[in-house]
């Protein structure tokens, strides 16, 4: 067994790395100023890769309810550098939206609710927003050799990809 996930808190009991992102660290994503830079926007519990061979990995994200101006709390979002590598997401708690945008600028969104399963095509950048008033908890699996391109997403105008 790889571990045990608590669906309420999103914590994984097992060999994982725990990380937090605050509103201050993510201020560049938002159109307006951040009033509470110490607010935790999301936490992750991620399996760490071992060895050099590509492997499937898993993680949970706990995306808290909250806003910066009129934009909901959101994850950074990224493209996969290797477009043949997609990922799966499963919602464990809360409500949100999976925002998708390809390199041609086409947008799509999928509503996230408890039990919803989402398959992300590797050609689409993906970001999650919390649309509810409780933590949004979701499980993700991906291949370790997908590569993460955050810079392309961060070059988009602030507020252009936030579900407003
Ligand atoms: Fe991804």
Other CB atoms closer than 10 Å to residue 52's CB: what's the count?
8
Longest dimension (CA), the chain: 44
Q: What distance in angstroms lies between residue 101's CA and the mean position of ligand 1's atoms?
A: 12
Full-model pTM = 0.96
Category of 3 on φ-ψ map: left (φ > 0), alpha (ψ -120 to 50) or beta: left
pLDDT tens-place values along the chain, 164 residues long: 889 999 999 999 999 999 999 999 999 999 999 999 999 999 999 999 898 899 999 999 999 999 999 999 999 999 999 999 999 999 999 999 999 999 999 999 999 999 999 999 999 999 999 999 999 999 999 999 999 999 999 999 888 999 87
φ/ψ (deg, to 5) at 100 = -130, 140
Contact partners, residue 30, CB within 8 Å, separation at least 6: 68, 69, 71, 158, 159, 162
Q: What distance in angstroms lies between residue 74's CA and the mean position of ligand 1's atoms?
A: 14
Q: What distance in angstroms lies between residue 80's CA and the mean position of ligand 1's atoms?
A: 6
Q: What distance in angstroms lies between residue 110's CA and the mean position of ligand 1's atoms?
A: 15
């Amino acid at each position: 067994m790889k571990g045990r996930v608590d669906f309420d808190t999103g914590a994984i009991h097992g060999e994982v790395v725990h990380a937090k992102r605050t509103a201050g660290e993510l201020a560049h994503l938002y159109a307006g100023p951040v009033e509470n830079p110490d607010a935790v926007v999301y936490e992750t519990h991620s399996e760490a890769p071992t060895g050099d061979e590509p492997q499937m990995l898993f993680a949970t994200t706990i995306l808290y309810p909250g806003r910066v101006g009129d934009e909901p709390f959101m994850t950074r979002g990224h493209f996969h550098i290797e477009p043949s590598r997609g990922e799966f997401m499963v919602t464990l708690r809360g409500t949100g939206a999976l925002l998708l945008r390809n390199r041609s600028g086409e947008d799509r969104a999928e509503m996230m609710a408890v039990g919803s399963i989402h398959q992300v095509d590797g050609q689409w950048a993906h970001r999650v927003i919390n649309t509810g008033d409780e933590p949004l908890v979701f499980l993700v699996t991906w291949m370790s050799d997908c590569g993460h391109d955050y810079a392309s997403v961060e070059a988009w105008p602030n507020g252009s990809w936030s579900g407003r």
